[in-house]
Amino acid sequence: MMEVLVKFLLTGSLIQVEALKGSCVFIPCTFDINQQLKNYLTDSAKRMWFKDGRSTAVFDSSRPNNGLLKGEIFGTATEKNCTTRFDNVDQSHDGSYYFRLEANGVLKYNYKEPTHSQIQITVLGEFLEGRSVTLSCSSDANPAVNYTWYRDTERPLNPVQTGSNLTINNTGPTHSGRYYCTAENKHGTQNSSVLLDVQYAPKNTSVRINPAGLVLEGRSVTLICSSDANPAVNYTWYRDTERPLNPVQTGPNLTINNTGPTHSGRYYCTAENKHGTQNTSVLLDVQSFTSSSVMEGDPVTLSCSTDANPAELNYTWYTETGSQFELLQTGHNHTYIVTNPTYGARYGCKAQNQHGQCNATIQLDVQCEYKDKPQINLI
């Protein structure tokens, strides 16, 4: 058995017909026509079949025995009858067919589903933020199709706009995404899509210090730079101690191990892509500490001072235990009685005004006095 697959889209129906090689195939068919064209429809109208998108008819009712397919078409055009018999079919006739009507040189009508839908993007230059972009959808169909636009960000998909063109003014990052165009007429529907990628220069570039809080001598610290950009940026680090500024490192993170006073200073991060550059900076203040010994029970007064303009400063005292900081009090001095023998207790002072802040720490070695002499017993 030779299978001939013949596809027709007639009044919205898709028909598949099979036939044996060398036999005839009978295709039941009717058609409709727009009201404004009915005056041109006469019994002498040509009823034709086209195959696989070819420009030449494979069957013409005015010459039923001269085409690629030979046979008979039944009824009349005014009866809107396109029922056809094809004779002696073989494998070369396998394919997709559509019906066409012609009359009086004016009426030319194809009956087929929308095909070759595609989206074209019209834009001056690249898809840069702030510019306008037009998405154009086109489809080959008769009757003409209705176009509807959708976005993949909508769940469920809701229409964004109708019409063959979708124009977006003053594009921004939120406009990036996949856009779908649906071409539809009474015979069928076809979809196409395009990915819109709106690009822009770096913005909102920032640096943070990890871990947050005081940076104490001997510890590790990581400076982390981030930026919003499309395409992604390249990061470069600089220090204000370099003249001229030379790159310290590339990449979003800058890690400093075993920090010391020489690491203090301002660090700059540059975020760059092909559309632009943005810089930001952070001041790293590595705190060194001094050590002092006191006796248990002694009163201790810690005093904090610094040069500043304006001279009105707010002082805050705190202690450090491991990575935890405990607020003690505010004011220029901190006085207390040493009660516990400890080693390595660190006290910090933060001086702050409207222009910034600085910190200093001191390590106290609290010692105790034994009141009873140790005794050694001989056993």
Residues 30 and 100 both lie in one domain: yes
Are 235 and 318 members of one domain? no
What CA–CA distance (Å, rounded) separates 379 from 241? Answer: 69
Report the number of distinct structural domains present in the chain: 4
Q: Could you tell me if 21 and 97 lie in one domain?
A: yes
Question: Do 124 and 180 share a structural domain?
Answer: yes
124 and 77 in one domain? no
Domain-embedded: residue 60:
yes
In a domain, 14, yes or no: yes
- 132: helix, coil or strand? coil
Residues 150 and 227 in one domain: no
The answer on 295 and 280 residing in a single domain is no
**Amino acid at position 49, single letter:** W
Give the other-Cβ count within 10 Å of 370's Cβ.
6
Return the pLDDT at 2.
40
Predicted confidence at residue 312, as pLDDT, reads 79
b/e map 274-291, b = 16+ CB within 10 Å: ebebbebebebebbebee
In a domain, 376, yes or no: no
Q: Count the alpha carbons within 13 Å of 307 in the hemisphere toward its beta carbon.
A: 0
Residue 373: inside a domain, yes or no?
no
91 and 18 both lie in a single domain: yes
Query: What CATH number is associated with residue 162?
Result: 2.60.40.10
Domain boundary among 41, 71, 105: 105
Q: Please give the model's pTM, rounded to 2 decimal places.
A: 0.53
Co-location of 89 and 121 in the same domain: no
Question: pLDDT, tens digit, for every residue of 1-16?
Answer: 444 444 444 434 456 6
Residues 31 and 82 in one domain: yes
Residue type, 19: A
Q: How many residues does the chain have?
A: 379
User: Cα–Cα distance between 267 and 281 in angstroms, integer?
Assistant: 5
Residue 374 lies in a domain: no
pLDDT in tens, the chain (379 residues): 444 444 444 434 456 677 777 788 888 888 877 777 788 888 889 999 988 777 888 999 988 888 888 999 999 999 989 888 888 888 787 777 888 888 887 787 777 666 555 555 554 456 889 988 888 888 877 778 899 998 877 666 678 899 999 999 999 998 988 888 888 887 777 888 888 889 999 999 999 999 887 787 888 999 999 999 999 999 999 998 766 777 889 999 999 999 988 898 899 999 999 999 999 999 998 877 555 556 666 777 788 878 777 777 888 888 876 666 778 888 878 777 665 655 456 788 888 888 778 877 777 666 555 555 555 555 5
CA distance 10 to 358: 83
Q: Residue 227: its pLDDT value, please?
A: 97
Residues 305 and 250 in one domain: no
Domain boundary (53, 75, 105) is at 105
> Is 274 part of a structural domain of the chain?
yes
Which pLDDT score, from 0 to 100, does residue 4 have? Answer: 44
Q: Tell me if 377 is assigned to some domain.
A: no
Q: For residue 126, give its domain range.
A: 114-196
The answer to whether residues 243 and 189 belong to one domain is no
pLDDT number for residue 221: 93
Does residue 260 fall inside a structural domain? yes
Residue that finishes a domain, picked among 141, 161, 196: 196
Report the amino acid identity of residue 354. Answer: Q
Half-sphere exposure of 322 (CA within 13 A, CB side): 1
